[in-house]
Amino acid sequence: MKNTLITIVGPTAIGKTALSIQLANHFKSDIISCDSRQFYKEMTIGTAVPEPEELAAAKHHFIQNRSIFEDYNVGQFEKDALVKLDELFLKNPIQIMVGGSGLYVDAVLKGLDYFPKVDTSIREILNIELKEKGLDFLQNKLKKLDLKTYKTIAIENPQRVVRALEICIGTNTPYSTFKNKPKAERNFNSIKVGLNADRTIIYDRINLRVDLMIKNGLLEEAQKLHRHKHLNALQTVGYRELFAHFDGDFTKEFAISEIKKNTRRFAKRQLTWFKKDTETLWFDYETAVNTIIKEISENINANKS
């Protein structure tokens, strides 16, 4: 049987972790996490790291294996994940990957897009504009230069916005035109499983998750990280809003409402990203796991070589 990587995607709070554990137990495989927020050991509550009992139910990789003080990017993750997969495939030709970070999923499955080098001074100028004029200013600039990228990237992530803009400005070409080129060959077949639900259900699940995070100590976790708020790892929903509260810009109630709003926006972008792949097998989030396993197994058998 050729090696097969089953990847579970979908919006945040949809139930990807629970499904990944069920599939890992069925196929007797490990789980590769490609959630770029769960790499960092200092961030637990705000990144919805699986509970200890969930981590114990199946062997997980790339969860809280880095520090926020380390520089770690999608290119490094691609290399690390491929090395780990080669190791895991020696034990079992079927492995599981799960996560809502579309760029990181694509890096493992297809390889990264190539972007030309541009003058480093462009990034410096953009970072000055970010500091002096705010993220909204850069978002509007990107919207004018590359609407397609504006609609698909993590627009609340300053690092992603600056990266897209420096390519647009440095090459005088939209960032999106450099994407989706022919990708690297992989030594495994890929099956993508997507979980989805009506938008109102997704939003309700997100709101409930945020309330539980607050109840479980997210404010205290964010308070401990506040003095490091400048780090790239902390430029993320759930922490950034609370940092604004600690700085006196938001009330606690408004910060919590902003976390919910920005997480809902993030979920919408996740679906936009994942829906681009027409080969993904989509299921309602309440679909019985046996039904999902049956369709995955049929796909594995059809791809045998």
pLDDT tens digits for range 168-202: 999 999 999 887 766 678 999 999 999 999 999 99
The pLDDT value recorded for residue 201 is: 98
Q: What is the CA radius of gyration of the chain?
A: 20
**What is the value of pTM for the model shown?**
0.83
Is 120-178 the same fold as 4-113+181-302? Answer: no
User: Are residues 29 and 214 in contact, defined by beta-carbon separation less than 8 angstroms?
Assistant: no
Q: Which of 270, 284, 282, 278 is nearest to 36 (CA)?
A: 270
Q: How would you list the strands of the sheet with 60-61, edge to edge? A: 60-61, 31-33, 94-98, 4-9, 189-196, 281-284
- Angstrom distance (rounded) from CA 287 to CA 162: 39
CATH number for the domain running over 120-178: 1.10.20.140
The pLDDT value recorded for residue 302 is: 86
DSSP string, 74-117: HHHHHHHHHHHHHHHHTT-SEEEEE-S-HHHHHHHHH-PPP---
Domain 4-113+181-302 listed as CATH 3.40.50.300: yes
Domain locations in the chain as residue ranges = 4-113+181-302, 120-178
Q: Do the bridges between strand 4-9 and strand 281-284 make them parallel or antiparallel, or are there none, so unpaired? A: unpaired
100 has pLDDT over 80? yes
- Backbone φ and ψ for 161, nearest 5 degrees, come out as -65, -45
DSSP string, 112-149: PPP-----HHHHHHHHHHHHHH-HHHHHHHHHHH-HHH
Tokens of 22: 């069920």
pLDDT tens digits for range 240-293: 999 999 999 999 999 999 999 999 999 999 999 999 899 999 999 999 999 999
| Alpha helical stretches, state H, the chain | 16-27, 52-57, 74-89, 102-110, 120-133, 135-145, 147-152, 158-171, 199-215, 218-225, 240-246, 252-274, 289-302
Tokens of 175: 């960032």
The pLDDT value recorded for residue 305 is: 53
- Angstrom distance (rounded) from CA 44 to CA 220: 11
The pLDDT value recorded for residue 259 is: 98
- Angstrom distance (rounded) from CA 125 to CA 134: 13
